[in-house]
Amino acid sequence: MVSRQFKLADYKTDVHNDWCPGCLIGDTLVLSNPSVKQIKDIVPGDVVLNAAGEYSRVALVIKHHHKGPMYRIRIKCFGEIVATPEHQFIAVKRLRRRMHNSSFVEERIQAVDLRVGDYLVYPILSRVVDAEYMNVEYSLKHKDTRSKRLPSRVLVDGDLLRLVGYYIAKGSVHNRSVIFTFSSDDAGLVDDTISLMDKIFGVKGKVNRNVKHSIDVVFYSSHLAEFFAYKFGSSAEDKRIPHEFMLLPREKQRNLIMGLWKGDGYFSSSKAGYATISKVLAEQVKILLLRQGIVPIVVHEPSHGMHKDAYRLYISFWRDYNLLAEIVGVDKRKLAGGRRRTIVFRDNRLYLPISKIEMFDYDGDVYDLTVDDPLHTFVTNITASSNCGDFAILNAIQMALADLQIERHRAVIFSGIGCSGKTPHYVNVYGIHTLHGRVLPFAIGAKLANPSLEVIAVGGDGDGYGIGAGHFVNAGRRNVDITYIVFNNAVYGLTKGQASPTLKLGMKTKSLPKPNINQGINPVMMALAAGYTFIARAYAYDVKHLKDIIAKAIRHKGLALVDVLQPCPTYNDIYTKEWFSGLDRVDPATGRAMPRVYKLEEQGYDPVVHSIDDEDELNAKIMQAIIKSREWGDRIPIGVFYQNEHIPMYEERIGSRISDYMSNPPALQRIDDGNGNPYADISRLLDEFRASTI
């Protein structure tokens, strides 16, 4: 098997965008797998929690310098987050000031448009993966003859999880031993720890009583020390719960919570609490509690004097207190009064009201993520966030080039004018930023001059279907082997949101004084009529599907169009991510949003013309593409509409007339004799323009 030569990073340049539709400061915590990371430390390939409560891969990290206003947004229970004015949060508008909403319609709302009382959304980790056993991995050292060999695997049951809870709360690793430090009042925990360690790992413990009224339980085993340090952390600062334990069924996780709380938690008459100096552990314990239906109040105490940064979780609401008491095995608290809860917990979503919003000036770097999931979201320690589709399309192009292993010197990208115009600056291949509406003539010229190149043209819907419409139609007549990707957001996004050719008649975006007076065009039907041999539509926020469509378009031999539906968060307030995702309508049976976008291939749709001689099949394929392209509103198809590999490429047509065209195209032909003397004699032409001398 041949290893891949090019990685995704090879197709990225050192040039970064100097604008993004909203970003977060670098120390914002993002819930990743298997840890919690500051957003500035996230790299492409990391896996992060998304707004659906599932994990998705990070496709791109966006960083730029922001100088201007920032918003500090504080919410109930979880603290605060700092964002640029344009940054979009998954949020719900508050309908009545002093009462909770009766229904919660989630939207993407910019920081500047949020108000005190609105709800930010925090999704609960929904994925469940049970594990029967855990492998016990460690290295055998030749000189270590005292440490007893451990079992190769151990059962993941209540005993193991309770022991792990004790260790994360009270344990540490020192040299060749694992040490649990309990208070003198924890005799029951001492006995339980000794019993569990012997039962699970076969290692005996030794009890040492200290003068400071504490008890050390020491387990001498270099193997055990290596395994515990690797899996759970060696000291208080780096304590963590293994990712596989975070996905266990809730019933099993109750044993882990029990061990954690018995080891380092407490219950008072009014609240329960847990403290740690590990920010990773604090977020993980929060997630464990949320999966049990328990909402903690999280407080960060900055370091002062000899004290390190601390993270405290409090549970005070009587219902949550009693749920935790039942898990840990302590007395429940009687209901004292009917205090109303300040947050809403329903359908595996937490709706946290905003309690305060402050604006301040900022001068520094900010960050955002492009995530490979259909809704294009990620979750911080405060709430779920989202961003624009421009960079999702960019990354899909880069990923397609990497998947196809196209050598960088054989690829070239041309762009027109608009939000897509700087695409060649960000892809580490040859590229030219061309004129408004003229991207196709440039791209076609390059391909005809050098047929060995993989040529990609990109542009906006105004650039390609408006001023460039004539070139769009005539390119279809030729069927040159290039790929044309159109960023279709139905507006002129670079010039303040005027109606583009794809905006429907009668639609009014926020930048239009009156509804659109022109009929909107159908790009799929226009491409069919012009003669394009590969016609597809994709959606900017389904990056994986978009990447696959672009790869198919590049592999196709002939002219390929990929029309990408791309919400414009700044100017198009009609075709938004919420609208495409169906968040404005709910299935009454399930209570879930009904997405408008669906994939043709999942419906058994066949776009391929299989026979060159079957006229009936050709007509049927064209007709079904027309019918599907007219679906809009409640159902919007994406995927390949039409594919015909039987039409000869323009390069083949030229080759039939010029015998050595493919082997000796214009770009490879010599223009001089090797000594700097041109083959072409243009002296007579120059003579006509030479100024006469007196």
**Would residue 682 count as lying in a domain?**
no
Q: What is the mean pLDDT of the chain?
A: 89
Contacts of 292 (CB under 8 A, 6+ apart): 250, 253, 254, 257, 323, 324, 327
In the prediction, which pLDDT does 375 show? 65
For the chain, how big is the Rg over CA atoms in Å?
31
Strand partners for 154: 134
Q: At 91, is the secondary structure helix, strand, or coil?
A: strand
Give the chain's length. Answer: 694
Task: Answer yes or no: are the C-beta atoms of 633 and 527 closer than 8 Å.
Answer: no
296 burial via Cβ count (<10 Å: 0-12, 13-18, 19+): buried
Considering the domain architecture, whether residues 208 and 93 belong to the same structural domain is answered as no
CA dihedral 484, 490, 492, 497 (to 10 degrees): -160
Helix (H) or strand (E) holding 57: strand 55-75
Considering the domain architecture, whether residues 233 and 362 belong to the same structural domain is answered as no
Supply the CATH number for residue 92's domain.
2.170.16.10
The DSSP bridge pattern shows strands 411-415 and 430-433 to be parallel
Q: How confident is the model at residue 215 (pLDDT cuts 50, 70, 90)?
A: very high
User: What's 111's DSSP letter?
Assistant: G
In the prediction, which pLDDT does 524 show? 96
Residues above pLDDT 70, as percent of the chain: 94
Task: Answer yes or no: are the C-beta atoms of 624 and 610 closer than 8 Å.
Answer: no
pTM of the model: 0.67
User: What's 156's DSSP letter?
Assistant: -
**Would residue 263 count as lying in a domain?**
yes
Closest of 268, 241, 264 to residue 252, by C-alpha: 241
Contacts of 391 (CB under 8 A, 6+ apart): 17, 20, 60, 62, 370
CA distance 506 to 622: 28
- The average pLDDT across 632-642 equals 95
CA distance 642 to 549: 12
Please count the other Cβ atoms lying within 10 Å of the Cβ belonging to residue 103. 8
Cα 125 → chain centroid: 16
Of 339, 370, 386, which residue constitutes the final position of a domain?
A: 386
Instruction: Please tell me which residue, 577 or 93, carries the higher pLDDT value.
Output: 93
User: What's 531's DSSP letter?
Assistant: T
Q: At 494, is the secondary structure helix, strand, or coil?
A: helix
Domain containing 531: what range? Answer: 391-573+607-650
- The average pLDDT across 578-595 equals 77
For 431, phi and psi rounded to 5 degrees? Answer: -165, 155
Considering the domain architecture, whether residues 395 and 379 belong to the same structural domain is answered as no
Supply the CATH number for residue 306's domain.
3.10.28.10
**Would residue 657 count as lying in a domain?**
no
Residue 34, preceding bond cis, omega within 30 degrees? yes
**Would residue 2 count as lying in a domain?**
no
CA distance 306 to 477: 76
**Would residue 615 count as lying in a domain?**
yes
Considering the domain architecture, whether residues 559 and 410 belong to the same structural domain is answered as yes
Considering the domain architecture, whether residues 413 and 358 belong to the same structural domain is answered as no
Query: Of the ranges 278-282, 568-572, 606-610, which one carries the lowest mean pLDDT score?
Result: 568-572
Considering the domain architecture, whether residues 359 and 397 belong to the same structural domain is answered as no
Considering the domain architecture, whether residues 295 and 278 belong to the same structural domain is answered as yes
Considering the domain architecture, whether residues 368 and 295 belong to the same structural domain is answered as no
In the prediction, which pLDDT does 60 show? 75
Q: At 506, is the secondary structure helix, strand, or coil?
A: coil
How far lies 595's CA from each of 123, 249, 568, 582, in Å? Answer: 18, 29, 18, 4
Supply the CATH number for residue 546's domain.
3.40.50.970
Q: How confident is the model at residue 16 (pLDDT cuts 50, 70, 90)?
A: low
Task: Answer yes or no: are the C-beta atoms of 425 and 433 closer than 8 Å.
Answer: yes
Domain count, the chain: 3
- The average pLDDT across 43-58 equals 88
Considering the domain architecture, whether residues 168 and 35 belong to the same structural domain is answered as no
DSSP letter string, 374-424: TT-EEEBSS-EEE--SHHHHHHHHHHHHHHHT--GGGEEEEE-SSTTTTHH
How far lies 323's CA from each of 296, 348, 518, in Å? Answer: 12, 17, 60
Q: How confident is the model at residue 417 (pLDDT cuts 50, 70, 90)?
A: confident
**Would residue 323 count as lying in a domain?**
yes
**Would residue 352 count as lying in a domain?**
yes
Considering the domain architecture, whether residues 396 and 497 belong to the same structural domain is answered as yes
- The average pLDDT across 645-668 equals 92
In the prediction, which pLDDT does 2 show? 43
How far lies 169's CA from each of 189, 197, 244, 295, 617, in Å? Answer: 12, 16, 19, 20, 69
> Angle 523-530/615-629 helices, nearest 10 degrees?
160
DSSP letter string, 351-369: EEEEEEEEEEEEEEEEEEE
In the prediction, which pLDDT does 497 show? 73
How many helices (H) and strands (E) in the chain? 18, 33
Considering the domain architecture, whether residues 517 and 443 belong to the same structural domain is answered as yes
pLDDT digit string, tens, across residues 311-350 = 999 998 889 999 999 999 999 987 655 567 789 998 889 9
CA distance 605 to 608: 9
How far lies 364's CA from each of 79, 385, 398, 632, in Å? Answer: 22, 20, 28, 43
Quickly tell me which residue has 């307030």 as its tokens: 573
Query: Of the ranges 127-141, 164-178, 377-391, 618-632, which one carries the lowest mean pLDDT score?
Result: 377-391
Considering the domain architecture, whether residues 402 and 483 belong to the same structural domain is answered as yes
Closest of 458, 464, 500 to residue 482, by C-alpha: 458
**Would residue 379 count as lying in a domain?**
yes
In the prediction, which pLDDT does 323 show? 95
Q: How confident is the model at residue 72 (pLDDT cuts 50, 70, 90)?
A: very high
In the prediction, which pLDDT does 1 show? 39
CA distance 447 to 191: 77
Tokens standing for residue 33: 């797998």
The DSSP bridge pattern shows strands 349-371 and 344-346 to be antiparallel
